[in-house]
Amino acid sequence: MSLNKSLTISVFSESRAGILHKITTAFSRRKINIISLTVSECEVEGVFRYTIEVEEQEDSIRKLVLQLEKQVEVIKAFYHYENELVSQEIALFKIPISAIAAGKAEKILREHNARVLTLEADYAVIEKTGYRREIMALYQELESMPILEYASSGKVAISKPETDIRSYFNKSVPQHAVIS
Amino acid sequence: MGQLIQEEQSQLIDTGIKMSGARAVLEILLREEVEYIFGYPGGAIMPIYDELMDYQDRLKHILTRHEQGATHAAQGYARTSGKVGVCFATSGPGATNLITGIADAQIDSTPLVCITGQVSAHLLGTDAFQETNIIGISMPVTKWNYQVTSADEIPEVLAKAFYIAQSGRPGPVLIDITKNAQFDTCNFQYKKCLGFRSYIPVPSINDLQVKQAAEAINRSKKPLLLLGQGVLLANAESELKHLIEKADIPTAWTILGLSGLESDHPLNMGMLGMHGNYGPNLLTNECDLLIAVGMRFDDRVTGNLDHYAKQAEVVHIEIDPAEINKNVHADYPVLGDAKAVLEKLIPLVDQNDHNDWKERFKRCRQEEQKKVIEKAMNPTSDQLSMGEVMKWINQYSGGEAIVVTDVGQHQMVACRYAQFRQSKSSITSGGLGTMGFCLPAAIGAKLGSPDQEVVAIIGDGGVQMTIQELGTIMQCEIPIKVVILNNEFLGMVRQWQELFFDKRYSATEMMNPDFVKLAQAYNIQSERVLERDTLDAAVHRLMSSKESYVLEVMVAKENNVFPMVPTGASVSDIILEKPNNYESK
Ligand SMILES: Cc1ncc(C[n+]2csc(CCOP(=O)(O)OP(=O)(O)O)c2C)c(N)n1
C-alpha cells in the first residue's frame, strides 16, 4: 500500500450554479477528504479556477482528475506536487488591544512579517500571508494573547509549468460569439 | 445565459417567432427528429402537455403507467434505434420516479433527454407543493442537467441537452423547466448545438497509439478481444468483424456487447464474466494479449482484479479517457471512437491465424457443452429449465428477434443462450442491474425497431416491479412477446443463498398472482405452460402471434445458473457445476 501524498488539484471550469456541487461529489463519492478549497475567476473571463488540497494516494487522485474532466463544464483538471506550485495562504487573527498596548505583539509581528489591518477600541486584527506552516508558527506565538478569533483561507496556487487554459478548449468550436 | 450563447457553436435553423416556452419545447423536439415521448403528466408540466394536444400527429406520446417505466422505455427505444430517448415527467414525485432509469442510463451509456416540470421560479426553495430539488438529486446520475427558469433559455439549453446526450460517450440529460418558463413567451429560434468549448466528446486519435496497438496484435500468439457496448454505440460492428477475421482473434463479449457479433460467427467465443462462458473466462488468464474495445472492465467481468490477466498485455480502445487504467492497466491505450480507431487499425494489422489457440476455446466449449449447456438446454428432469425455453425461442426467432431481459437468473440464461443475427438486438440492464427494466424497455425497443419481433424474458420477481406497463402495451397496442420464467423465487438471490449462505432462503420465496388472468385482465392473450410436452407449441403460438402475448412458463424452482465465477474469485477459477462440498462463506 503506497502512502498518502500532499497533492493540490486545480480544476478549470465554466461558471455555472451547481458545478461546485458536482466537483465536490466526485470527491465525496470516493471518500476523498478535501483539506481546503478555493475558488476564483482565472485570467480567462468566465472560467473559474478551483484549487483543492488533498492528502491521498496518487493513483486515486490521478483517476479522480479524469473523472472531474469528464464533467461537461470542466475544461481541464490537473494535480500537482508541492514543489510544482507557487502557493500562498492568508490568515486573520483578532487579538485583544491590550496585547498591543502592552508591547507584546510588535516584536512578534515584525519577526513574522505580519501586519495590523485594523485597530479598534478593544481589539486588533492582524493579517499574515504565507505558507501554512508560517501561519501556524504565528498562531502559536499569538495563542497566549489570547486569539479571540481566527480565520484562514485555503491555498491559492499557481503552477510553475506554463499552462494556458485556453489551449484546452475544444478547438473544433469557433470562439466567436453567436448572436441570437 | 450569456455564457451559454458565447460558447456554443450552433447551426441556425430558423428565427424569431413568438411562442410559449411550452410550445418551444415541442418545436425543438420536432427539429431534433424525436418520434416518441415517454411520459406521465402532472401539475408542473401541464403547459407542455396542453401544447402536446396540437402536436399529436407529429409527436407520439406513450403514456407509461409509472415514470420509471417511461425512462426504461426511452432506454429501450434509444438502444434499438440509436437515437435519443425522450421522457416527460412532472415535478416532485414524477421527477424522483425517473431516477432509477436515469441512473441505469448513466451507467449503461444510454442517451436520454428527460424533461421535468418544476414549480414556478418564485416558489423555488420554499417547499412549495411538489417542489423537489431534482437538479441536486439527479446530478450524480446524469451526464448533464440544467434548470431553466425563463422561457428564453429553452432553445439553447435543449439544443445543448440533445447534443450532450448523444455525443461522445452517450448518457442521460435532465432539464428541469419551471412552470413560468413554460407559460411565458419566448422569441423562438433554434440552432442545433454542434459543440462548446469545455467539452471534447471524442478524443482525437493518436496515430502512434494505433501503431503500437497494431504491433502488439501482430506480435501476439494468443490474443483475446473483448467486445463492449462501445462497438455498438459507434456502429463499428463491421469494422470489428473485419479486424478479428483478418487477424483471427477469438472474441468474447460483455453483456452489453451482446449481439454486436452474430452468435454463430466462428470467432464468437461467448460471454465474459460471472455467468459467462468457460473458455473466455478461463483463457483470459492464459492469453498473451487482451484487446478491449469499448468496454470498461466492470467487476462482474473481471472477477478479482489481483488475478486478472496478469500474464497478458492489454490494448484498450476507448472513447472515455477516465476508463483508461481505471480498473485494468492498459499497456497500449488508444483513445477515440471505436469505429474510427478500428478503421485506422485494420490496415496495420497482419493477416494471421491462431488455430492452436482457437482450439483451446473449442475444447473449453466442448467441456462446457457437456457439463453445463446440454443440461440447461435438454434437461433430464421433468422440471422445465429456463434454457430449454430459450432453445424454443431461438428456434422460432431464427436469431432475428430483439431479446429484452430483466435482471436475475433468467437474464443470465437468456444472454448465454439467445441467438442473434442482428446487432443492437439484446437489451438488458447491465451496469445497474435494475429489476423491472424489462417490460417497459421492451415497449421502447419495439418502437425503436418496429420490424423486429421483441421478446421480453422476465422473472416472476422482476415482472412485478413494473407489471403495470401491461396497461401501456394494451392502450398503445404495441405487440410484445412476454415470457415470464416463473420459479416462484427471487431466483438469483436464492442461488447465492444456496451456495454462499447455507441455503437460508431469507425473503426470496414469492407467492405470485395468476399471471395469465392478470394479462387477460389487460386484454392480452396469455397462457401458462407446466409441462415439456406443451412447451414447443406454446412458444410457437407466442412467436407467431400478431399481437402481444404473455407466456408464463413454470420452471424448476431451485435450478442454478452455471458456470459461475464466485465473487472474489479469479475468472480462471470459474466453476462449471456445484461442487459437492461447496464452502459457504
Ligand atoms: C430493483 C432491484 N432490487 C433488487 C435487486 C436484487 N436482485 C437481483 S436478482 C434478484 C432476483 C430476481 O428474481 P426474479 O425476477 O424472479 O428472476 P430470477 O432470478 O428468478 O430469474 C434480485 C432480488 C435488483 N437487482 N434490482
Contact B195 A14 (CB under 8 A): no
| pLDDT band for position A3 (cuts 50, 70, 90) | confident
Q: Are residues A150 and A164 in the same domain?
A: no
Contact B200 A170 (CB under 8 A): yes
Residue B371 lies in a domain: no
Q: What is the CATH number of the domain that holds B499?
A: 3.40.50.970
**Residue B282 is part of which domain span?**
207-360
Residue A69 lies in a domain: yes
Q: Are residues A103 and A122 in the same domain?
A: yes
Whether B412 lines ligand 1, by a CB cut-off of 6 Å, is no
Q: Are residues B422 and B523 in the same domain?
A: yes
Quick check: B498 and B509 in contact, CB under 8 A? no
Nearest to B6 by CA among B203, B200, B198: B198
Query: Closest Cα of chain A to B10: distance in Å?
Result: 8
Q: Are residues B240 and B142 in the same domain?
A: no
| pLDDT band for position A2 (cuts 50, 70, 90) | confident
Q: Are residues A139 and A109 in the same domain?
A: yes
Tens-of-pLDDT digits for all 585 residues of chain B?
A: 344 444 455 655 556 799 999 999 999 999 999 999 999 999 999 999 999 999 999 999 999 999 999 999 999 999 999 999 999 999 999 999 999 999 999 999 999 999 999 999 999 999 999 999 999 999 999 999 999 999 999 999 999 999 999 999 999 999 999 999 999 999 999 999 999 999 999 999 999 999 999 999 999 999 999 999 999 999 999 999 999 999 999 999 999 999 999 999 999 999 999 999 999 999 999 999 999 999 999 999 999 999 999 999 999 999 999 999 999 999 999 999 999 999 999 999 999 999 999 999 999 999 999 999 999 999 999 999 999 999 999 999 999 999 999 999 999 999 999 999 999 999 999 999 999 999 999 999 999 999 999 999 999 999 999 999 999 999 999 999 999 999 999 999 999 999 999 999 999 999 999 999 999 999 999 999 999 999 999 999 999 999 999 999 999 999 999 999 998 999 999 999 988 765 544
Distance B463 CA to ligand 1 centre (A): 10
Q: Are residues A118 and A77 in the same domain?
A: no
- Whole-number pLDDT of residue A177: 35
Residue B487 lies in a domain: yes
Whether B101 lines ligand 1, by a CB cut-off of 6 Å, is no
Instruction: Please report the atom of ligand 1 found closest to the CA of residue B463.
Output: 15
B179 belongs to the catalytic site: yes
Among B139, B197, B326, select the one facing A169 at the smallest CB separation.
B197
Q: Are residues B335 and B407 in the same domain?
A: no
Whether B489 lines ligand 1, by a CB cut-off of 6 Å, is yes
Q: Are residues B462 and B547 in the same domain?
A: yes
Q: Does B156 touch chain A (CB under 8 A)?
A: yes
**pTM to 2 decimal places:** 0.95
Best mutation site among B435, B495, B506, B512 for ligand 1, i.e. most ligand atoms within 8 A of its Cβ?
A: B435
Residue B576 lies in a domain: no
Q: Does A55 touch chain B (CB under 8 A)?
A: no
Nearest to B258 by CA among B417, B368, B373: B417
Distance B459 CA to ligand 1 centre (A): 8
Kind plus residue range of the DSSP H or E element containing B483: strand B481-486
Instruction: Please report the atom of ligand 1 found closest to the CA of residue B434.
Output: 26
- Whole-number pLDDT of residue A161: 84
Q: Are residues A32 and A114 in the same domain?
A: no
- Whole-number pLDDT of residue A100: 86
Per-residue pLDDT of A5-28, as tens digits, reads 999 999 999 988 889 999 999 999
Cell of B265: 460467427
Amino acid B72 reads: H
Cell of B248: 483471427
**Residue A37 is part of which domain span?**
5-85+157-170
Of A72-76, A87-91, A157-161, the range with the lowest mean pLDDT is A157-161
Q: What ipTM is given for this predicted complex?
A: 0.90
Quick check: B478 and B504 in contact, CB under 8 A? no
Q: Which of B1, B11, B18, B129 is catalytic?
A: B129
Per-residue pLDDT of B240-276, as tens digits, reads 999 999 999 999 999 999 999 999 999 999 999 999 9
Contact B196 A170 (CB under 8 A): yes
Residue A11 lies in a domain: yes
Q: Are residues A130 and A164 in the same domain?
A: no
Q: Are residues A16 and A68 in the same domain?
A: yes
- Whole-number pLDDT of residue A1: 60
Q: How many domains does chain A have?
A: 2
Q: Collapsing DSSP states into helix, strand and coil, what is residue A34?
A: coil
- Whole-number pLDDT of residue B85: 98
C-alpha distances out from residue B530 to B317, B480, B485, B511, B544, Å: 47, 22, 11, 17, 20
- Closest Cα to atom 8, ligand 1: which residue? B408
Residue B194 lies in a domain: no
Whether B461 lines ligand 1, by a CB cut-off of 6 Å, is yes
Return the axis-axis angle of helices B532-544 and B386-397, rounded to nearest 10°.
Answer: 40
- Whole-number pLDDT of residue A104: 80
Beta bridge partners of B188: B17
Terminal alpha carbon distance of chain B: 56
- Whole-number pLDDT of residue A106: 87
DSSP string of B510-545?
A: -----HHHHHHHTT-EEEEE-SHHHHHHHHHHHHH-
C-alpha span between B317 and B323 (Å, rounded): 10
DSSP string of B76-136?
A: HHHHHHSS-EEEEE-STHHHHTTHHHHHHHHHTT--EEEEEEE--GGGTTTT-TT---HHH
Instruction: Please report the atom of ligand 1 found closest to the CA of residue B406.
Output: 15
Q: Which of B492, B497, B498, B543 is catalytic?
A: B492
Residue A56 lies in a domain: yes
Best mutation site among B255, B407, B557 for ligand 1, i.e. most ligand atoms within 8 A of its Cβ?
A: B407
Q: What is the dihedral of CA B187, B189, B194, B196, to 10 degrees?
A: -20
Q: Are residues A43 and A79 in the same domain?
A: yes
Cell of B243: 479486424
Q: Does A58 touch chain B (CB under 8 A)?
A: no
- Whole-number pLDDT of residue B13: 57
Q: Are residues A14 and A78 in the same domain?
A: yes
- Closest Cα to atom 4, ligand 1: which residue? B435
Nearest to B87 by CA among B42, B130, B149, B137: B42
Q: How many domains does chain B have?
A: 3
Residue A67 lies in a domain: yes
